[in-house]
Each structure stands twice: as C-alpha cells, then as structure tokens.
Amino acid sequence: MVKRLLQIVCWLTIAPALHASGVEFEVRLWSPDLGGRAQVGGLAAGTVIDLVSDLGFADDEMLEGRMIWRPSRRTSVRLSYASFEFAGDARLDRPVSFGGTTFQLDAQVASRLELEYGGLGLAWQFVSTPDGRLRLGPMVEARGLRGEAGISSHILGDLPLRAREEFELAFAAAGAVLDYEPSDRLHVYAVWTAAVGADDGDLTDSEAGLRFYPIDTLALTIGYRRIEIDFADGNDVFNLDLDGPFFGGVLRF
C-alpha cells in the first residue's frame, strides 16, 4: 500500500513537468535484413558460423518502444527498449562446433537468437538556428545488450543435441543528433551513436527518419536504421548486422 502511494505521489510530481515541457511516445515496426557470424567454443575455439548461410536464419520484423522527454527545445532525454527474436532451420553442409557441442555433417538443426537492447540517453543540441528549426548537438547514452543463442538437433534413435550460449554487454555511448523542422507538420532527423570504452565489444547505432504530424499530438514516422554489434569474450566471438526500414506512430503531449 505504501509503495503504491509513493508511486502515485511520484507521478503527480513528475506529470506536470512532462506535460509542460513535452513528451513523446513512439512505437515502431522495424524490418531489418540480418547478417552475422558467431564463434562459440567454450574451452576451445569453435567453428566460425554464418548465421544465414550455415544456419538458415531468416529476416523478421520486430517492435520497439521509445520515449523522448524534451525539457527544452535543445535538450532531450531519450529512453528506448527493443526485443528481437530470429529463428533458423537448415541441414548442415559441414560439421559445426558450437559451445563445446559438435553437430555433424547433414544434421538437421534448428537455431534461435534472442536479443534485448535498450538505452537511456541525454542530447544537448547547442548548435541551433535563431528560430530553432535546425538543431545539432552531442548525445551521451548508457546502453545494454543481452543475447541468447542456441542450436539443437535430433536424429532418430539418438539423444537430441543442444547447445546454448548467453552474452551481455553494458557500455557507454556517444554520438550526435540532428533535427530539422521545415514546417510545424514535418520533422526530419538523424541520430548516430557508438560505444565508448567497451573492452569486450563494440556497437554502433545509426538511423535517419521523417515524421509527419497530421495533427499536433499524432505523427507518422518512417526511416532507415542500421545496428552493428561486435562482441568478443575469450573463445567466443559474435558479430551481427541489422539494417532496414522502419515505420511507426508517435503520440506527443
């Protein structure tokens, strides 16, 4: 009961500030092309596996949620979260070692890759035209990535083979944000960030898009996004490229 009351008090305190300064909620559907490689060996080096040609991973669509709070025209706080899931099914044309388990030639394998990716960032667009319609400035972020990959195979008369690996990456990122509003109804933007000081991996995230506001509180958005992930930990190496168009909707208060 006390916890609930505290939540209500916090919301009553924060809500007027959000309303006065402006907050945006966005949901988007992203349709990326998938490419990448994985090498998961455990105690010894594993096979370098191509996610598409070896395991048959297919492109898929995914939802992402975002919130942008603008305490001023030049300053914004950005929160994002996305959950990705890919699956593959293929017959191996060579033996593959993954996580200490070897899958033999001609084995029929089912594979999956799950990712959770989110971040919290602060942008300060101190370069601006007098009317504020063109703004440019740096952004810093705290980002996190969690992944789980698995391969399984079952041959009639034999016990099923399964291998699974998890990885996590937390890092700071820095980049730039560009906004251009040629009119009150049209908003063009670009964002680029890259990991800073991450010892066990690297990640770059870039996108450009356009928003159209048919009414003041609702926007339609389209754009293009690319994410590049490189992760290394001992004998484990993971590379992933995601790029493709997105579209979605924005509620602005």
Indicate the pLDDT class of residue 21, thresholds 50, 70 and 90: low
Q: What is the pLDDT of residue 42?
A: 58
pLDDT tens for residues 41-99?
755 667 888 989 999 988 888 899 999 999 988 999 999 999 988 999 999 988 888 88
Task: Supply the mean pLDDT for the chain.
Answer: 85
Indicate the pLDDT class of residue 246, thresholds 50, 70 and 90: very high
- What mean pLDDT is predicted for residues 104-128? 92
Q: What is the pLDDT of residue 46?
A: 75
Does this model's pTM top 0.85? My answer is no
Rounded to an integer, what distance in angstroms lies between the CA atom of residue 20 and that of residue 192? 28
Rounded to an integer, what distance in angstroms lies between the CA atom of residue 157 and that of residue 47? 26
Q: What is the pLDDT of residue 155?
A: 65
Pick 80 or 22 by higher pLDDT. Answer: 80
- Asked if residue 15 has pLDDT above 80, the reply is no
Q: Is there a contact between 101 and 73 (Cβ–Cβ < 8 Å)?
A: no
Pick 139 or 73 by higher pLDDT. Answer: 139
Distances (CA, A) of 154 to 92, 96, 158: 13, 15, 7
DSSP-assigned letter for residue 5: H
Q: What is the pLDDT of residue 237?
A: 83
Domain 23-252 class in CATH:
mainly beta
Q: Is there a contact between 101 and 92 (Cβ–Cβ < 8 Å)?
A: no
Domain positions in the chain = 23-252
DSSP codes, 214-234:
EETTEEEEEEEEEEEEEEEET
